[in-house]
Amino acid sequence: MSDHAERRPSEGPMRIALLGCTGSIGTQTLEVIEAQPERYSVVGLAARGGRIATLNEQIRRFSPLVVTIEDPTGRETVEFPSDRVLTGAEGLLALATLPEADLVVIATSGHAAIRPTLAALEAGKEIALANKETIVCAGELVTATARANGITIRPIDSEHSALWQALQGSPGHSAVRRLIITGSGGPFRTLGAEELARVSPQRALQHPTWPSMGGKITIDSATLMNKGLEVIEARWLFDLPFDQIDVIIHPQSTVHSLVEYVDGSVMAQLGPPDMRLPIAYALAYPERPALSFPRLDLTQSRDLTFEPPDDGRFPCLRLSYQAGRAGGLLPTVLSAADDEAVAAFLRGDLDFTGIARIIAATLDGYDGTSTVNLEAIEEADRWARDYARTMIVGGSR
Ligand code: MG
């Protein structure tokens, strides 16, 4: 445990820079902060995309020192002193390394988060991480940088938060037999292969248990790609081989993941499907302040059920293990091909089962370098997007 993690409220509120403040995780992070004003203050807000009205409202509520927006032409619309409004990739970097920040929450989506995450770690900031690409594409680089700087990356994703919590008190790696990541199985868990080929984007966007997720992550949850990416993240965050990471389908989303120890004991973390809980744990770690968000009432819960994932109907999970084990830039290729395939599905240009087909073909088509650095990640990402798009246009309906 690093010294940073042991800060106490008596030192004054922990000062937070939030990258991705207007998205789903960003706004829920601000709810957690607002519920504990004695513990946290907001020193920086970075908004991606054009949600300036939301940003302006957040500026009024949290009075940050610095604000960053994506598009320089939007500067005039930000209701904040213009000399403290930064823009673009430079702005994200400045916010991630803000001298006044103790902890940086990375809740932006896509590759844009990788550089700021590395910069924040190098600047000695505590990191709470919700961005998937950072660990999927640059896991080795990012976790090595965190280790070198004595920083524990605090995962915000519910499954990784559950694993992290279930690992507290573990005597070490040799005590862990396997990590078991749970997934709801998505809205099509019970559909047959033929029905799967015909599902509509509208139907796929209805997630059964987690409210208010974005379109991409909801489709990823329906294909099980979301679990596959989480397996790759777990490999790096907890430094265990793929052979020791399993996925189990748990439709009720109450058990958020489990750790099986070598003695046969299994530790699980349970809670209502509310992202504010893993966010609150990531911010407060290693403490557990009292919170008044909705609680789990096990006397009111339906049965908790578990079943193995079906690789045949949901091949994205198998493709993720394949890319993860191959390592190098293949996880980047996997993630980029998935982005393009999901976008095509949402546009109506690809059927649901085509998503896995496009990803598999893109992985097969890749024969690039295996040197992992930021430039190589960006290059592999571009290549995979072009390759996937060409195949989608070429007719994989
Ligand atoms: Mg998750």
Global confidence as pTM: 0.94
Interval between CA 82 and ligand 1 midpoint (Å): 37
Interval between CA 182 and ligand 1 midpoint (Å): 9
Interval between CA 106 and ligand 1 midpoint (Å): 15
Taking the chain (397 residues) in consecutive chunks of 10 residues, what is each chunk's mean pLDDT? Answer: 47 94 96 97 92 96 97 94 96 97 95 94 98 95 97 97 97 96 92 89 74 76 95 98 98 96 98 96 96 92 90 94 96 97 94 96 91 93 97 71
User: What pLDDT was estimated at residue 8?
Assistant: 47
Interval between CA 63 and ligand 1 midpoint (Å): 31
Interval between CA 256 and ligand 1 midpoint (Å): 9
User: What pLDDT was estimated at residue 371?
Assistant: 87
Interval between CA 117 and ligand 1 midpoint (Å): 19
Interval between CA 359 and ligand 1 midpoint (Å): 20
User: What pLDDT was estimated at residue 116?
Assistant: 97
CA pair distance 22, 68, nearest whole angstrom:
12
Give kind and range of the element (H or E) at residue 385: helix 374-393
What the chain holds in terms of domains, given with CATH numbers, is 3-156 (3.40.50.720)
Sign (positive/negative) of CA torsion 344, 129, 72, 79? positive
User: What pLDDT was estimated at residue 171?
Assistant: 94
* N-to-C CA span, the chain: 51
Question: pLDDT tens-digit profile of 172-217?
Answer: 999 999 999 999 998 889 999 899 889 888 887 776 666 656 678 8
Interval between CA 138 and ligand 1 midpoint (Å): 18
Interval between CA 257 and ligand 1 midpoint (Å): 10
Whether 61 and 36 have beta carbons less than 8 Å apart is answered as: no
Interval between CA 203 and ligand 1 midpoint (Å): 20
Interval between CA 140 and ligand 1 midpoint (Å): 20
Whether the bond into 289 is cis, omega within 30 of 0: no
User: What pLDDT was estimated at residue 395?
Assistant: 60
CA distances, 27 to each of 159, 284, 290, 308 (Å): 20, 17, 20, 34
Interval between CA 352 and ligand 1 midpoint (Å): 21
CA pair distance 332, 328, nearest whole angstrom:
8
Question: pLDDT tens-digit profile of 260-275?
Answer: 999 999 999 999 999 9
Interval between CA 92 and ligand 1 midpoint (Å): 24
Give kind and range of the element (H or E) at residue 248: strand 245-249
